[in-house]
Structure 1
Amino acid sequence: MAFYCADGAMAQQLQASLQALEAEGRPGLSEQVSITWLRYTTSLIDSASPRSDLADFWADQPSGAAWRGDQARYPASVVKLLYLVAAEAWLQRQLIDDTPELRRALADMIRDSSNDATGLVLDLLTGTTSGPELPVEAFERWSLQRQLVNQWCEQLSWSEWEGGNACQKTWGDGPYGRERQSYGAALENRNRLSSDFCARLLHGVMAGALVSPLACGRMRDLLARSLDVQERSADPENQVDGFLGEGLPAGARLWSKAGWMSQARHDAAYMEAEGHAPMLLVVLSEGKARAQDVRLLPELCARLLAS
């Protein structure tokens, strides 16, 4: 069962927006994207923390709509949101040490989308390291360790996790050695997440419903994005321009994690803007044309916010 309540009017608005964007010169767009869109009557921030029973929070479903929301796609750097939540869960269970270096890596992984920082975080989460190719038995042991985040996701018992995979680091040039070995000959072991899963993850973080309210507060601090024009111009990789946040009006508030590469442009964002209902939007778009399309995500965000 989905964690949101399907809203027919929102579904129509979402489909109409997709059709309009496709008609503007984006052939095949409907096949290239997965979208999950949630809308709230009040702020989601810390909406779960006063409750003694989180089951009540998860049963109180927001209104939502999706387009291919259950289709698992390569998430690029959006997977870093999951690794952030997993790190806080590991810290709560004292499976890893809370050190300044870990906190520095988590901050760089989310704020700057650092792949190097992500590598350290996944090493700590799974007890593995990169290096040369491994012989069969050693590689099997290494691969089993790399499943720890996946095993944790399975224990969540979320239907949105179906088809998911989160056992790989993120790369600039690509994996080598045992990391490439882990991807499989046809890259069949790449990371995979659905927009529904990413939406539920961000929904829980924003509400204070994952790990602990304190941990969610720390995660929100890292996910917060500035919409100030001067700050954005000073940082060409600000995760706002070319992504959902660019479609927001001045004065809005944004928490997000973007992902982009040569074949993908994604974003997972929660936003609050005066005069509009708070909303959460996850868009996973694939293909070279979509990766280069810096207007798609801002225009989609602006359309849905105003609907």
Structure 2
Amino acid sequence: MAFYRPEPEMQQHLVAVIDRLAADDRPGLHDQIAVTWVRYDATSPANGSGSGAAWADQKLLYPASVVKLLYAVAAEHWLQRDLIPDSEELRRALLDMLADSSNDATGLIVDLLTGTTSGPALRSPAWEQWQQQRRIVNNWFHGFGWPELERINCCQKTWGDGPYGRERMFYGENNSNRNALCTAAVARILEAVMTDGILSPPACQRLRARLARSLSRSARQADPENQVDGFLGEGLPEGSQLWSKAGWMSRARHDAAWWCSDGNPPCLLVVFSEGSERAGDEQLLPLMASQLARFGVD
């Protein structure tokens, strides 16, 4: 059961867009992409009030830096419960993790959330305890009872060069324990953040402030890693307001975006694309955002 009302016309439009993008020299796209798309009728919608469409939205994929959205949500909950101490350094790390997608900041957040640290291999029973602690964030999300979150895995740090020592061991053989999310899970979490549906309103407001993106050309030119160019934000109508979290690595290009324009109700779009060709495709996500944003307008 989706957290939105399935809309047949939106579904037809989404499939047609994917078909066109695949036909434009993107063979295999249908198997390389996952999408959750939701539109709302109210300018300040409630949780679960949207209409939507999806493509492979339950498919678990490596989320790259999109997982940082979930770690940020968990950190705000931990703060609410006084499970971790608040500090300027924590606030700095949370901002850098979302606004700049810092892997170093993410490492600190994961350590704080789970009470673990990186390092050389551990012996039993310390190794078993370390693994159990690392699954705390997973256990919290699984406890929501939301079907979209039942199979997700968010227990690993994010890396530039890759994990070493106990971190590499924790990935398992053939990376079987790496982070894994589906677009439905990310969409439901992002919707909850944007509608005060998961934490206190002040906590959600702090998260939204860190997710806000400028679509100004001058601001984007000043920040080559702006999480707009090459992602969904690039395809949005001029003057749109955008909140998003992108993920990109050698075999993935993802984005999760919430936007509104011209005073209209907001839209939510999460797109995961996998494979080296899609990772290098800087036009796919902007084109998808542009063509979906025009639904009901053209």
Normalised by the length of structure 2, the TM-score is 0.97
Give the deviation of 1:199 after TM superposition.
0.2
Give the deviation of 1:277 after TM superposition.
4.6
Aligned counterpart, 2:277: 289
Amino acid at match of 1:292: G
Matched, 1:91 2:70: no
Give the deviation of 1:136 after TM superposition.
3.7
Provide structure 2 residue ranges, at least 5 long, that are not aligned to the other structure.
none
Quote the Cα distance in structure 2 between the aligned partners of 1:248 and 1:106. Answer: 26
- Could you tell me whether the CA contact under 8 Å between 2:43 and 2:264 is conserved in 1? no
Quote the Cα distance in structure 2 between the aligned partners of 1:210 and 1:285. Answer: 27
Amino acid at match of 1:216: C
Matched, 1:8 2:8: yes
- Cα gap change, 1:287/1:220 in structure 2, threshold over 3 Å: closer, same or farther? same
Aligned counterpart, 1:54: none
Which deviates more, 283-292 or 35-44? 35-44
For the residue of structure 2 that corresponds to 1:122, the secondary structure is helix
Aligned residues: 295
CA deviations 1:251-284 (Å, max 9, x no partner) are: 1100000000000000000011127552100001
Aligned counterpart, 2:199: 211
Matched, 1:81 2:106: no
State the superposition RMSD in angstroms.
1.1
Amino acid at match of 2:243: W
For the residue of structure 2 that corresponds to 1:170, the secondary structure is coil
Quote the Cα distance in structure 2 between the aligned partners of 1:162 and 1:15. Answer: 26
Aligned counterpart, 1:299: 287
Aligned counterpart, 2:28: 28
Give the deviation of 1:93 after TM superposition.
0.6
Quote the Cα distance in structure 2 between the aligned partners of 1:30 and 1:16. Answer: 11
| Structure 1 counterpart of 2:174, from 179, 183, 186 | 186
Give the deviation of 1:43 after TM superposition.
2.2
| Structure 1 counterpart of 2:162, from 150, 171, 174 | 174
Quote the Cα distance in structure 1 between the aligned partners of 2:226 and 2:50. Answer: 29
Quote the Cα distance in structure 2 between the aligned partners of 1:31 and 1:168. Answer: 26
Give the deviation of 1:202 after TM superposition.
0.4
Matched, 1:195 2:183: yes
- Could you tell me whether the CA contact under 8 Å between 1:276 and 1:306 is conserved in 2? no
Quote the Cα distance in structure 2 between the aligned partners of 1:236 and 1:271. Answer: 21
Provide structure 1 residue ranges, at least 5 long, that are not aligned to the other structure.
49-56
- Could you tell me whether the CA contact under 8 Å between 2:43 and 2:263 is conserved in 1? no
Amino acid at match of 1:135: R
Quote the Cα distance in structure 1 between the aligned partners of 2:264 and 2:273. Answer: 25
Amino acid at match of 1:69: D
Normalised by the length of structure 1, the TM-score is 0.94
For the residue of structure 2 that corresponds to 1:175, the secondary structure is coil
Amino acid at match of 2:136: L
For the residue of structure 1 that corresponds to 2:174, the secondary structure is coil
Matched, 1:149 2:137: yes
Give the deviation of 1:162 after TM superposition.
2.7
Aligned counterpart, 2:146: 158
- Could you tell me whether the CA contact under 8 Å between 2:66 and 2:245 is conserved in 1? yes
Amino acid at match of 2:29: L
Identity %: 58
Off by >4 Å, runs of 4+ in structure 1: none
- Could you tell me whether the CA contact under 8 Å between 1:90 and 1:96 is conserved in 2? yes
For the residue of structure 1 that corresponds to 2:125, the secondary structure is helix
| Structure 2 counterpart of 1:252, from 240, 247, 255 | 240
Quote the Cα distance in structure 1 between the aligned partners of 2:143 and 2:151. Answer: 14
CA deviations 1:105-130 (Å, max 9, x no partner) are: 00000000000000000000000000
Give the deviation of 1:72 after TM superposition.
1.0
Amino acid at match of 1:94: D
For the residue of structure 1 that corresponds to 2:258, the secondary structure is strand
CA deviations 1:15-42 (Å, max 9, x no partner) are: 0000000000000001011100000112
- Could you tell me whether the CA contact under 8 Å between 2:135 and 2:155 is conserved in 1? yes
Give the deviation of 1:207 after TM superposition.
0.5
